[in-house]
Copies of this chain bind each other. A is one copy, B any other.
Amino acid sequence: MLNRVVFEQKLTKETFTELHQYKKVAVLVDENTKANCYPIVKDLLPDHHLIEIKSGEEQKHLGTCEQIWQSLTDLRFDRKSFLLNLGGGVIGDMGGFCAATFKRGIDFWQMPTTLLSQVDASVGGKLGVDFGKLKNHIGVFRIPEKVVIHSGFLSTLPAEELRSGYAEVLKHCLIADSKEWNKLIAKPISDQNWEEVIPHSVAIKEGVVESDPQEKGLRKILNYGHTVGHAIESYLLDIPNRKLLHGEAIAVGMICEASLSSKNTGLTEEELKEVSSALLSVYGKVALNDEDIPQLHDYLMQDKKNEGEQINCSLLAGIGEAVFDKFVTWEEIQQSIDFYRSL
């Protein structure tokens, strides 16, 4: 289960040499990556077709998959054809799922264009789409032929997208690298050197995933912040003016789960304070009111990691060290949300 991630500071025709082996090539974009990223690669690629979908997490469903499958069908793509997914997490997860299931699987590359997808979705082979309000509910595991990471794409991103992806960078440090955590929080996000930060962050994730590709054990530590974070993200997705970016929701989740960690798995009070204040200083405070809490319950109970009524969390034993398969009750989750709201 080798994940072939390459970092390309400069994209050239050589980057795409391998694609000449395929009979047909398509590039999947949304309107943003079509305008901002596709011009950078267009003339470097062999002859190809463009498949465009609408941007946004709300497009990440089976209906959009059907459009993509139909486009591949109309283009008469066969098993020797190839799909290049050029975009953020939605393009990568959904385009990858479509490639992995079209005629039982054609080759594909991921070319993530956001910080979030470069440090997170690029590694591990998790592909899929949302189902109703349930995130990544339908999907498969499959490793792409290659992942090409070009940090130059980040200059095309709005500031809040960069900030959103940064939450995963911080998470990787919190679960596995206290030194890097200290280094990062000493500087504002605008001063980070992405050429260094991204490979470091990807290496942490790769190390974890390679030791446990099927998520039977250790890989679960990557879910730190995501049990509560995903529930909040899903719940707020459809509420006007309250929708959060993924990283913003995960930042809330990391604080809640740091609170759970201080009660259950040995994170000190001091560390809890450090995590909370560092994250709040980047992400600010998300308003959650009393009426939101019972709504979050249903989302939490549908988490893929649960077993029955037990909510499965990955928590911190300290900054730079995580533990997994920690089961907590809904009451404990509620208390952790109360902690967040009290900050």
Q: Which residues of chain B come closer than 8 Å to A102, judged between CB atoms?
A: 137-138
Task: Say whether A104 contacts B69, CB under 8 Å.
Answer: no
* Alpha-carbon distance between A80 and B303 when the two chains are bound, in angstroms: 12
Interface SS of chain A: mixed
Q: Which residues of chain B come closer than 8 Å to A136, judged between CB atoms?
A: 104
Query: A76's contact among B105, B132, B301, by CB below 8 Å, is which?
Result: B301
**Cβ of A95 to closest chain B Cβ, rounded Å:** 14
Flag whether A59 is at the interface (Cβ < 8 A). Answer: no
Q: Which residues of chain B come closer than 8 Å to A69, judged between CB atoms?
A: 131, 137-138
Flag whether A62 is at the interface (Cβ < 8 A). Answer: yes
Task: Say whether A306 contacts B78, CB under 8 Å.
Answer: yes
* Alpha-carbon distance between A307 and B140 when the two chains are bound, in angstroms: 26
**Cβ of A261 to closest chain B Cβ, rounded Å:** 23
Query: A104's contact among B126, B306, B308, by CB below 8 Å, is which?
Result: B126
Q: Closest B residue to A306 by CB, please name it.
A: B78
Task: Say whether B308 contacts A78, CB under 8 Å.
Answer: yes
Flag whether A87 is at the interface (Cβ < 8 A). Answer: no
Q: Which residues 48-87 of A have a CB within 8 angstroms of B?
A: 62, 66, 69-70, 73, 76, 78-80
Task: Say whether B131 contacts A307, CB under 8 Å.
Answer: no
Q: Which residues of chain B come closer than 8 Å to A62, judged between CB atoms?
A: 62, 66
* Most chain B C-beta atoms within 10 Å of own C-beta, residue among A100, A128, A140, A306: A140
Q: Show 7 residue pairs from A and B whose CB-CB distance is below 8 angstroms, ordered by the A residue.
A: A62-B62, A73-B131, A79-B304, A101-B138, A104-B128, A104-B139, A105-B141
13 additional A-B pairs beyond A73-B134, A73-B137, beta carbons within 8 Å, are: A23-B307, A76-B301, A78-B306, A79-B304, A79-B305, A101-B139, A102-B138, A103-B137, A103-B304, A104-B126, A104-B136, A104-B141, A140-B140
A residues in contact (CB < 8 Å) with B: 23, 62, 66, 69-70, 73, 76, 78-80, 100-105, 126, 128, 131-132, 134, 136-141, 301-302, 304-308
